[in-house]
């Protein structure tokens, strides 16, 4: 563990949060994955926070904060700013207790999260192009209407609520050796790391951020929270430009490593979870697994927990992610092939493709573009394959057959 000032959250706070939350929060399973263990060379356990009532871990911290409101605060109501998961946690548990909840969400928030937040009983205000602008508006409403602001991550009470995941992991996985956690503002990893390290300092804690918004990585490098440039990412749940003032000391003290993952790597992890585990994860929820699958984090043979933080993903984005993941895995292949414009040329090509057991899903002819010579044609052909090896075999067969082609990405 690193030397740093005494953080604001301690193991005792997390233990108290667990008692306070009781059975109001689902104690999610930490399922052992044989398939992912084989893929990564580790003993992988998935902490399935996507199975929470609101589809993400955020309701732990939100409820812990709500339960500590006094009577006057409860009567006035609460307000929060969120891109979705924190919003749903606050909305659900406030409404359950008869407390008015106002949630300010960026106008770019996926529709599935906006709709779900309204369905949980909150008054949703769409404001601003990003979380920062929504946060400013939520703070304004807090002051104007006397509401209690519930921060999505930079609040010791919220952090303690998220830390209950760490306590569950220690109980669910005997001889746990490592934990891999997504990082946005740091509330989740701050709570989990505190629970883990103050219970067993030998367990490794690794954080994973999207490479588009590595705010905590920047904070650790600069030894203080720093605001980074905005960016867009499919991991909207961890799209935070500045690490928290409360969370940063926890991360600096207790987190052993921080790694970043690219968009395509996150998409591939989402697809892997769907196919291998029948588990739906959003981009932020799959970031930790992405780092393991890409071997950016490796604890060979170690018992490793991976926190799947949430599963709230827009279905249209999911469709695009699946398609992109298939492309990255070589199972969806598009080739631009130049052919003589004569009878039988296409038949010969399709016979070669059939011999290599690839399936044609789409074709497009063109005689005027792509530098096609007179008397020739270019055909864009989209194929389904079993993966990279079959795709390579097919392309080698086309080369051996004298075809002029290129891969379209």
User: Quick check: 104 and 79 in contact, CB under 8 A?
Assistant: yes
Mean pLDDT of the chain: 92
Encoding tokens for residue 287?
Answer: 């970031």
Virtual torsion, Cα 14, 17, 18, 22, nearest 10 deg: 180
* Percentage of the chain modeled with pLDDT above 90: 77
* pLDDT confidence tier of residue 370, bands split at 50, 70 and 90: low
Q: What is the pLDDT of residue 278?
A: 96
Q: State pLDDT tens for residues 248-288.
A: 999 999 999 999 999 989 988 999 999 999 999 999 999 99
More confident residue, 22 or 368: 22
- Got the DSSP string for 180-236? EEE-SSSHHHHHHHHHHHTT-TTSEEEEEEETT--HHHHHHHHTS--PPPP---S-G
| pLDDT tens-digit series, residues 7-46 | 789 999 999 999 999 999 999 999 999 999 999 999 999 9
The label of the residue with tokens 């992109």 reads 324
Q: What is the pLDDT of residue 26?
A: 97
Give residue 15's pLDDT.
98
Two tokens, residue 239? 């799209």
pLDDT of residue 65: 98
Q: How far apart are CA 58 and CA 114, in angstroms?
A: 15
343 burial class (0-12, 13-18, 19+ CB within 10 angstroms)? exposed
Among 103-112, 178-187, 260-269, the least confident range: 103-112
pLDDT level of residue 5 (50, 70, 90 thresholds): low
The pLDDT value recorded for residue 342 is: 85
Predicted local confidence at residue 317, as pLDDT = 86
């Amino acid at each position: 563990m690193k030397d740093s000032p005494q953080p604001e959250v301690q193991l005792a706070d997390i233990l108290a949060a667990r008692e306070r939350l009781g059975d109001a929060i689902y104690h999610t399973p930490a399922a052992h994955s044989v398939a992912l263990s084989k893929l990564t060379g580790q003993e992988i356990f998935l902490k399935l926070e996507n199975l929470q009532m609101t589809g993400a871990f955020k309701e732990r911290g939100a409820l812990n904060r709500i339960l500590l409101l006094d009577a006057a605060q409860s009567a006035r109501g609460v307000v929060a700013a969120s891109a979705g998961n924190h919003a749903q946690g606050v909305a659900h548990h406030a409404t359950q207790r008869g407390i008015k909840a106002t949630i300010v969400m960026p106008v770019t928030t996926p529709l599935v999260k906006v709709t779900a937040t309204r369905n949980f009983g909150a008054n949703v205000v769409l404001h601003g192009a990003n979380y920062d602008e929504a946060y400013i508006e939520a703070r304004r409403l807090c002051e104007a209407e006397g509401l209690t602001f519930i921060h999505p991550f930079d609040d010791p009470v919220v952090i303690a609520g998220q830390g209950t995941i760490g306590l569950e992991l220690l109980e669910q996985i005997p001889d746990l050796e490592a934990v891999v956690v997504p990082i946005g503002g740091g509330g989740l990893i701050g709570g989990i790391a505190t629970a883990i390290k103050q219970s067993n300092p030998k367990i490794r804690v690794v954080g994973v951020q999207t490479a588009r918004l590595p705010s905590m990585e920047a904070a650790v490098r600069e030894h203080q929270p720093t605001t980074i440039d905005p960016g867009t990412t499919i991991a909207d749940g961890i799209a935070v430009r500045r690490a928290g003032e409360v969370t940063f000391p926890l991360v600096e003290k207790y987190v052993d490593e921080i790694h970043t993952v690219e968009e395509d790597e996150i998409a591939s992890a989402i697809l892997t979870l769907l196919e291998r585990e029948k588990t739906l994860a959003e981009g932020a929820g799959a970031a930790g697994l992405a780092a393991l699958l890409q071997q950016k984090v490796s604890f060979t043979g170690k018992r490793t927990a991976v926190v799947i933080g949430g599963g709230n993903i827009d279905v249209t984005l999911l469709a695009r992610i699946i398609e992109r993941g298939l492309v990255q895995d070589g199972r969806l292949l598009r080739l631009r092939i130049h052919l003589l414009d004569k009878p039988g040329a296409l038949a010969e090509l399709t016979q070669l493709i059939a011999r290599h057991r690839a399936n044609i899903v789409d074709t497009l002819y063109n005689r005027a573009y792509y530098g096609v010579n007179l008397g020739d044609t270019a055909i864009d052909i989209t194929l389904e394959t079993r993966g990279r090896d079959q795709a390579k075999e097919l392309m080698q067969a086309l080369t051996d057959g004298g075809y002029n082609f290129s891969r379209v990405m």
